[in-house]
Structure 1
Amino acid sequence: MTFCDELRKETDIYWEGSFQHPFVKGIADGTLSIDKFKYYMIQDAFYLKHYAKVLAFAAAKCETPEEFAYYTDMAKFITEAELELHHSVFLELNVTPEEIEQSEPAPGAINYINHMYSAVHNGDVAEAFAAMMPCPWLYLEIGLYYKDAKPGVKLYEDWIAMYSNEDFQATIQTQISMMNAYAAAASPEKLAILKSHFKNSCYYELQFWEMAWTKENWVPETVR
């Protein structure tokens, strides 16, 4: 069993929770309200902006030119391709730049981003990678899990197709190989840290769906 096999097995409760979360299932069967999807996309754009910055910080800690190039290329890809996709979706959803600018980041998004910043600032590149990896890997698995779904909503069909295509599968296989290589060079103490960062991010991924499903804000339930 590889290190990534161990990670996947030990965090399966979070993955299954994501597959079965009503937000994700709502995308797959077309019942998710567009309003909730719009909320999710705005929060995700905020998340991706900081994800790209975490990649850049990780690049600064790389020890080889090849590794540095990978992280900087990924940061550029996230900034240009992923965020451009969001912009095209925002046009379909009639979301204005002013609405995005005025939207407040939700607690779930802030917590997840702070976790990744903590990993990259307080650890090495392997620790940063362990905190960042669950996001794309989980999205691939969701895409493959629901690749035959017929939601009947173009935005949702495009979302599923994007995260199940062959290019994305190849990207994740590269990342799995990278994570296994980091683990092979790590001490038992470092392996425990890598697992902790990875597990925490899996938890935050599940919470991200819940955040979008409830349209989470900063008003406590007790005073609503």
Structure 2
Amino acid sequence: MDFCEKARQQTAYFWEASFTHPFVTGIADGTLPLEKFTYYMLQDAYYLKHYSKLLAMLAAKATEEADVAYFLESAHFIREAELELHRTTFRELGVTTEMMANFEPAPAAYNYVSHMYQAFFTGTIAEAYAAILPCPWLYQEIGVRLRGATPNVKLYDEWLQLYGSEDMERKIGEQKAMMNRFAAMPGNDERTLLEHFKRSCYYEWQFWEMSWTAQTWESEVYMK
């Protein structure tokens, strides 16, 4: 069993919690309120901004020329393609410049990003990659599972098409192969890699919950 197979097996409960979360199923059947999707998109834009930075930073950790090129190209793709989708979506959702100026990352989003930076700054390239791989991999699996869903909401249709595409499936296959190669490098502790991967899977589930509840720093206090 390679690293990705083992990591996926050991975190299956987080994946199932994401697949069945009302935020995700609400996208699939079109019942998710647009205000919850707006909240999610703002938090996701924050996440992707840092995700693209981490990919660029990973290029500096990489020793193989092909890996350097991959990380730089991926960072550019996310910055130019996915964030452009967000900007387009923001217009459709009526997100104003004032809303963006007053944006504050929610606790779950902030903690997730902090976790990824921690893995990068304190660990190997394998540890850093183990912390960022669950995001695209989970979204791709959600996209595949929800192929054929008909939310009949333009933004939700586009979201499902993006993550359920064959191109996305091919890219995730390449990313898993890269993760397995990094994990096999000398000096890596598999338990540490699995811990980084597991925490990111947890934060992925928390991202849906955060968006479903419109989590704020204040709400975290009052819910105690």
* Partner AA of 1:138 in structure 2: L
Give 1:154's aligned residue: 154
Q: CA deviation at 1:185?
A: 2.1
* Partner AA of 2:70 in structure 1: Y
- 5 Å-filtered alignment, 1:65-214, equals 65-187=65-187, 190-214=189-213
| Mapped contact 2:140–2:168 kept (Cα < 8 A) | yes
In structure 2, the CA distance between the partners of 1:221 and 1:136, relative to structure 1 (3 Å rule), is closer
Q: CA deviation at 1:96?
A: 1.9
| Mapped contact 1:40–1:212 kept (Cα < 8 A) | yes
| Mapped contact 1:59–1:125 kept (Cα < 8 A) | no
Give 1:14's aligned residue: 14
Could you tell me the TM-score, scaled by structure 1's length? 0.96
What per-residue deviation string (whole Å, max 9, x for no partner) do you get for residues 61-110 of structure 1? Answer: 11122111111111111111110010111111111233112111100000
Q: CA deviation at 1:190?
A: 1.6
- C-alpha distance in 2 between matches for 1:120 and 1:57: 9
CA RMSD of aligned residues (A): 1.2
- C-alpha distance in 1 between matches for 2:216 and 2:186: 39
* Partner AA of 2:4 in structure 1: C
* More divergent stretch after superposition (134-143 vs 3-12): 3-12
Give 1:31's aligned residue: 31
In structure 2, runs of 5+ residues without a counterpart are none
* More divergent stretch after superposition (197-206 vs 69-78): 69-78
- C-alpha distance in 2 between matches for 1:186 and 1:15: 29
| Mapped contact 2:125–2:182 kept (Cα < 8 A) | no
In structure 2, the CA distance between the partners of 1:85 and 1:222, relative to structure 1 (3 Å rule), is closer
**2:47 aligned with 1:47:** yes
| Mapped contact 1:27–1:151 kept (Cα < 8 A) | yes
Q: CA deviation at 1:30?
A: 0.6
Could you tell me the TM-score, scaled by structure 2's length? 0.96
- C-alpha distance in 2 between matches for 1:74 and 1:116: 16
- SS at structure 1 position matched to 2:189: helix
* Partner AA of 1:216 in structure 2: Q
- Count of aligned positions: 223
**2:222 aligned with 1:223:** yes
- C-alpha distance in 2 between matches for 1:51 and 1:222: 28
| Mapped contact 1:58–1:124 kept (Cα < 8 A) | no
Q: Percent identity?
A: 53
In structure 2, the CA distance between the partners of 1:30 and 1:123, relative to structure 1 (3 Å rule), is same
- C-alpha distance in 2 between matches for 1:169 and 1:131: 19
What per-residue deviation string (whole Å, max 9, x for no partner) do you get for residues 151-174 of structure 1? Answer: 111111110110010111111000
In structure 1, runs of 5+ residues without a counterpart are none
Q: CA deviation at 1:175?
A: 0.3
In structure 2, the CA distance between the partners of 1:3 and 1:214, relative to structure 1 (3 Å rule), is same
Q: CA deviation at 1:186?
A: 4.1
| Mapped contact 2:29–2:151 kept (Cα < 8 A) | yes
